[in-house]
Amino acid sequence: MPSKFSVWYNKLVDFNVESLFAKRKQPGPPRTVFVNEPLPPDYFDHKHRVKKEHIYCSNQVITSKYTILTFVPRNLLEQFRRIANIFFLAIAILQFFSIFSTVSAGLVILPLIIVIAITALKDGYEDIKRHQSDRSVNYSQVRVLTSGEFSNENAMAGKSKTFVRAIVPSFRRSKQKKGRNDGDVEVLQHGAPPEGIHTEGAELTHMPTATEDGVEYDDGEPIEQAGRLFHHRGASRRPHWKVSIWEDLRVGDIVKIMDDEPLPADVLICATSEDENVAYVETKNLDGETNLKSRSACPALTHLNTARACADKRNAFRVECDRPDTNLYKFNAAVVTSDGKRTSVDSNMVLLRGTVLRNTRWVIGVVLFTGEDTKIVLNSGVTPSKRSRVERQMNPQVFINLIILAAMAVACGIVDAVLEQHYFPLDAPWLYGDTQSDDNPRINGLVTWAFALITFQNIIPISLYISIEAVRTCQALFIYFDKEIYYEKTDQATLARSWNLSDDLGQIEYIFSDKTGTLTQNAMVFRQCTIAGRVYKGDEIESDVTPVGVPEAEDKVDNRSSSSTPPSAKKSSASTSSTDAISDPLAAKAVKKAEHVLAHFHDETLQADIAAAQEAVSGSAEDKHGRMLNGFWTVLALCHTALVSVDPDTGAIQYKAQSPDEAALVQAAADVGFVFRGRDREVLTLQTPFSQMGGNGGGGAKYERYELLNVLEFTSARKRMSVIVRKLGEDGEPDGKVYLLAKGADNVIIERLSAGQDELVRITEDHLSEFASEGLRTLTLAYKVIPEAQYEAWATRYHEATVSLGEREAKVEAVSDEIEHDLSLLGATAIEDRLQDGVPEAIADLREAGIKIWVLTGDKLETAIAIGHSTNLIGREDNIIIIRGGGEGHTPVYGQMLKAVEEFFPESGILQDEGVGLDENTLPQYQQQAGGYPLQRVNTGVSSLVGHNNGERPGGFILVIDGSALTHALSDDKHKHLLLRLAMQCEGVVCCRVSPLQKALVVKLVKDGVGALTLAIGDGANDVSMIQAADVGVGISGEEGLQAVNASDYAIAQFRFLKRLLLVHGHWCYARNGNMIVNFFYKNIICIGVLWWFQIYCGWSSQYVFDYTYLLFWNTFWTIAPVIGIGLFDRIVDDHVLMAMPELYRHSRNHEYFGTKLFLIYMFDGVVQSAIIFFLITYSYTSTTARSDGYDIARLEFSTNIAIGAVMAANLFNGLNTHVWTGWIFFAVALGIVLVWAYTAIYSIISPGWFPTLVYGNDHYLFRSPLFWFSILLVTILALLPRYIAKAYKMSFMPNDLDRARYIYKLDPTHDFSKDRHGGLANVSISSVRKRELGRHRPRLFHGSRTDMSTGLRSVDRGFDFATEENGVAIQRIQSHLSERHQAAAPAKRRRNPSTLMQSFSIGRTLRRKKHTSQSSSVHPNDEPSFSSPGSPGSPPESPPQHKS
């Protein structure tokens, strides 16, 4: 049991200043937002004031720490958490009493004031930058509905006065707002609150039909009709959109958001510019995903598509909402219109603050939550006041010194009181007159105690803190000017935003990293594919566009608008459909690279095979392979939900997909000649080289059209997506062929194949393994021809399942599984997700340094695992343990974790832990579920599934856990304890589908549960909470934005720079600061030791042994330079050695450079040296007189010798503790010695006529005495000798890796230390340098085994990735259209010109190193898939291949 003192001390140390000044507002109750309606009477109290629970917070978001009012008290509280500051304040106050004064009381307190003032200025400067960043976002602009008829009566709280706002008078701001058009809102490119800065600036430059006052009309009437002659104060009562700033936004306001603008609050969608009232948003700032999400308008509000309609009193409504919630994926509300009709609202109808509108010209919505009630702010943390571990460790050491000081003072007081009471009755002459009330033997002991505190106060060095601040500031500059971590592409240097955490960089034990934008570039390349057993390895085509042929009939179609129309003209009014503002994709003659897709795909062998198939005779080998090619690329071109747009500058097709990998797949099909031209509700348009015989590339081809019948959507359990389409004839009527096109994970697709394809399956699986071993992520494609009668019967069952009320998901899955069988294999794809440069190497080196890396991402489980393989986080021989949360039919999360411990770590001691085990609540459920899911299953014969040897592989274990499982695992202490114990057994952890708040909770779990120093790195606003929760936060400020930089302590441009930041700068800073601090304590204890030993000879009266000025200048002139030199210029070993040998970081990570043990050793060294100096010199001078005239010496004569000897010993001892002697170190060590000698010589000749001195003439006796010179030389050597012998012995007989590395580098500056990795230095003898060729081993990217603890299934992982928005509005909308059409009595008339309105769908990404060799193989299975081709013999098919029955 801890003692009461330790409990009290821990509470004091852990006291959080933020709890006093930054209390987070608790989420309010459920709210009702009234839109253009008055508030009900029950919202008011008896004084007709709105009740507190119905007052909503403003939209002002403040991330800064201080205000004008709180700056002084809060900053003082933070600084006086240092025990030393409290002590110095007490000593300064004590000396304001005349009885205790030594020099001027104001002069005594001046150093403390200077230290506090400098620190406060630094903190204030950092916070001013935060305020400027806040202002850049809070003053961003938004269009708000304004009208004489529209009123918003929802009550709002007042805005806070902040640092900057309180300085700038409000009347000045109001004057600046008038008539401003383009220059009054300050946008700072280097900071913003969590949701990030406005895209390209804070002002709204695109305002169609706008006036000079920032007013926009969308009713098509001339602006002049809104004249000001008859309007109050010139304000128009005609409904319009008025530009306002974000912080003035109110709950209940109706806003209009334009394309590429960020959302200022959580907004319910009323109407959009797109068909079907759909909007597309980028949620990167929320969940880290760059894929676009689709959102739809509330059906009851879609008529509110103009300002006039929104302001109409007849369209008033109210929204009943739940209380503010942190769950990003949960939103429950209901819209109640004026006629009393209720319409439910879910998360698919809401745009959250922090998201950015994309590919949608405008959205009109009503504000539901503002400011601190928005989900992104609820998921962000309070800006913390971080303190380094070294600083926290200094408090106990200062406390130890305080105890020593108290003991010394008590000893002096007691002994002095005893001596005075003994000698006063004996009429001792030195006690003459001690009969006053404040000067007598009874009270003098207490006075002596107080004097002792003042005399020995230097044992607590006040200059230490200011020295540390100065050194850390310079270390931040060293980091900033390091060219090795400077990114030329963006002109971005590594920036230390928090100067007091540099030494923490050298003690990091856990790194928590985001994935998207942090590890990856989020840029895709379609690398390879295998079709019918042949591998095609394409070349990268860097050109921006690839030409495609256009049929003559289609080439004559008039474009809806010219591609040269400027963007500002295309987005004209709220009532114009966006389809009228883009070029016709059917007439586009080129395909442009999609966003985040790096290259076009081109393969000469593939083009030759297509050309050969076009000329092939029916039934020949070329014809059969051509059918497979046609089927493969048709599946890629049709089985997706991508959006087709036309670039206004080039007139080329550009695919807009929900993820870059999906866009890469569709674009690759277009590059080959299978161009997806768009979708018009249920009609898909496709151009293929096989449509009709024509020129190369399909120049004379006609378009094929397919009717979309059903979409069997992707889920993480299905791991596949299928579409069912019907081929349409030239007249638009069905031709009777129904196809199922499927893509998914290899094991899922292969086990659903028809019989007779064993040879093709074997070859394809070999190719898949080759792709996966290179780090590429794979996708397997298959198809099936469905007889019409079979489809009609199945469609009826499927429709019944989709409309069922009970267990709908299970029924839909069962019916879908019925038809996804007997497939014909076509091939597989392999795409690369480009990692940032150097990421795999950096992660491998950081792991070798002993740092555990956890990846926390919002991506799906398969994506996260694939990135784990690509980044070397998951090695070839590693074992993967999967913990998944799920509903019924899955093992409980606690049971999964417990089963993993039993299976893989039975001897770890976890099972014997009292806090681990099943209680009465979890035991029955665990027993029921766990028995039904064995941890292995038999091999299906079509996929290499790992059996019992999972867990016996030579590699380590990697834990993969998803967000829903984390929700349970973090729910209580019992789950947290088991999760932490399990994770500690694993070499790495991957958390997927996690929310921003969960990221922070995971960091706190490790930080508090293990007590380790943590580092979090990310680039988005979804990483802010994680960055703030970690001991050190690093923000990526490269090309993905600056959202995370605002909350970070260090800003870097690339992940690979983290290696040098930790291994070099972190190691150096920690070694320097730790060495500087212990040497600082040493040099002060040697001075105090000399004063203490003198008390034996002065009656314990707290008298100074030497002149007070020597003590006064001790920490300012005599001994300050060497310790500052250590902090700035010492190098434990050179940087290239630290980079070449990451394992050297363990010396820093294991806290070898600073700690209580090292502190006590240096303190003891100081005490011993002070005794040597004092007693040797004292007894040398007392044996015989040193004067030539025979007179006895004075006190200040021999004590000056002691002072000089102590200064020389302290400075040379500091120099002895440096690891590299540079010119600066020589200068620093010599400076104090030269100054004390010069001061002694000059001070001794100052005449008393100038001012009284007690050492006048001292030079006459000192410098002429041989004893003076000999004693200084003797005591200096004897004082340093023990440390010198200890260092020499350690270097000769007990060297560590750092000693060996320094010695080798000294003898051989060209030595290649990369060959000494993995323990190579341990075999190096100090007496000679042996060079060993020790290769640098890197794990080859390959698949590892994995065990899914929720189902007990074990399988090989080939890097498959499949991602889409499950149950998203895109799939729901398509399904609803299909359901409506099935219910219709007559078929709907199809449009001939399909539009491009289609959602996107995500497929996996991966990484590989490009291979320069290519190979292909051919296979002709016995049961060859055939095409149904109506053309002449040998003509290529018009449709996907049909499997022979």
List Cα–Cα distances, 721 to 295, 615, 635, 1008, 1401, in angstroms.
21, 34, 11, 42, 10
Q: Alpha-carbon distance 1043 to 1022, whole Å?
A: 9
**Residue 182 CB burial class (10 angstroms; 0-12, 13-18, ≥19):** exposed
Angle, nearest 10°, between helix axes 105-138 and 83-94? 140
Place of tokens 């240092």: 82
DSSP per-residue codes, 921-943:
TTHHHHHHHHTT--S-----SSS
Residue 895: name the closest of 914, 870, 868, 923 by CA: 923
Show the DSSP H helices in 249-388 as ranges: 284-287, 307-311, 375-378
Distance CA 473, CA 465 (A): 12
Q: 691 in the Ramachandran plot: left (φ > 0), alpha (ψ -120 to 50) or beta?
A: alpha
Beta-bridge mates of residue 216: 210, 241
Cβ count near 232 (within 10 Å): 9
| Burial of 1435: CB neighbours in 10 Å, binned 0-12, 13-18, 19+ | buried
DSSP string, 1408-1429: -PPPS---------SS--B---
Please name which of 1365, 1329, 1127, 1121 lies closest in space to residue 1234, comparing C-alpha atoms.
Answer: 1121
- The DSSP 8-state label assigned to residue 546 in this structure reads E
Q: 151, exposed or middle or buried, with CB in 10 Å at 0-12, 13-18, 19+? A: middle
User: In this structure, are residues 1396 and 643 in contact, taking their beta carbons and an 8 Å threshold?
Assistant: yes
Torsion over CA: 1366, 1367, 1369, 1371 (sign): positive
User: Which amino acid would we find at residue 1291?
Assistant: M
618 neighbors 1374 (Cβ within 8 angstroms): no
Number of Cα atoms under 13 Å in the Cβ half of residue 858 = 26
Q: Which one, of 262, 258, 299, lies nearest residue 277 by Cα?
A: 299
- The DSSP code for 825 is E
The answer to whether residues 333 and 322 touch, using CB atoms and an 8 Å cutoff, is yes
C-alpha to C-alpha distance for 928 and 911, rounded to whole angstroms: 20
CB-side exposure of 417: number of CA atoms within 13 Å? 15
Q: Which residues contact 1114 (CB under 8 A, 6 or more apart)?
A: 458, 1084, 1087, 1207
3-state secondary structure at position 1152: coil
Distance, in Å, from the CA atom of 416 to the CA atom of 446, rounded to the nearest integer, reads: 9
**Which backbone phi and psi does 1034 adopt, to 5 degrees?**
-120, 130
Closest by alpha carbon to 59, among 216, 241, 244?
244
Which neighbouring-strand residues pair with 281?
A: 293, 357
Residue 86 CB burial class (10 angstroms; 0-12, 13-18, ≥19): middle
The span from the CA of 911 to the CA of 990, in Å, is 23
- Cβ contact 369:352 at 8 Å: no
Q: Is 312 part of the annotated catalytic residue set? A: no
- Rg (Cα) of the chain, in Å, rounded? 38
Structure tokens at 345: 């609202």
Q: Which of 259, 266, 514, 1049 is catalytic?
A: 514
- For the annotated catalytic residues, the residue numbers are 514
